[in-house]
Amino acid sequence: MKIGTMGKVLAAATAVFALSCDSASVSGVPGVPSDLVRSRPGAEHSLFDPKLLVCPTSASAATTADVGPLGGLVSAGGSSVSIPAGALLETVTLTVTEPASNFVEIDVSVAGAENFIFELPVVVTVSYDRCSRNNIDSSPISAWHFDQATGELLEQMPSVDNKLTRTVTFTTGHLSGYILAN
């Protein structure tokens, strides 16, 4: 990715973050074949109720690569993680996985680390190209950091939804599981 393009992605992600809603109490259940995820349990009305993006697939894709201080790009399926130079102090083994799922989700991990923090933000792009629903373009899609064990939505990522390429792009300083919602 060119430096100018990355700068535009980061600027757009920052703008989206500044306009995003509070997601501290949002939770969801990814194992349930329903696209309804209620935010703020007990609230009668909410301006923002994220619904997990339901696009079932039985196919999975995974790529593992060594990435060092000079950075790199690791892609699996239509999703990718772009690590800029200086984001890593030493070479690590990074895995990007698009699991078979009812939802559009990815897992990004570093071998031997339960939690991993980068020195600089990385750019994550998640493809929802497999979604064939007619109403997919009717509302913005965003990425969420979620707990893969419980399905709880933990944090809305500052996301840019590109309807033309059918991807959601965001920056993050940590690796985890991410899921798309609209």
Q: How many CB atoms lie within 10 A of CB 82?
A: 19
Tokens 């992600």 found at: 13
Q: Does 46 score more than 90 pLDDT?
A: no
Domains and CATH numbers, the chain: 3-181 (2.60.220)
Q: Which residues pair with 43 in a beta bridge?
A: none
- The residue with greater pLDDT, 15 or 105, is 105
| Cα angle for residues 94, 96, 101 (degrees, 5° grid) | 150
Q: Which residues pair with 125 in a beta bridge?
A: 80, 169
Distinct helix (H) and strand (E) counts, the chain = 1, 13
List helix spans (H) across the chain. Answer: 3-19
Q: Does 16 score more than 70 pLDDT?
A: no
Query: pLDDT digits over 72-92, tens only?
Result: 999 999 999 999 999 999 999
CA–CA dist 145, 123 (Å, integer): 14
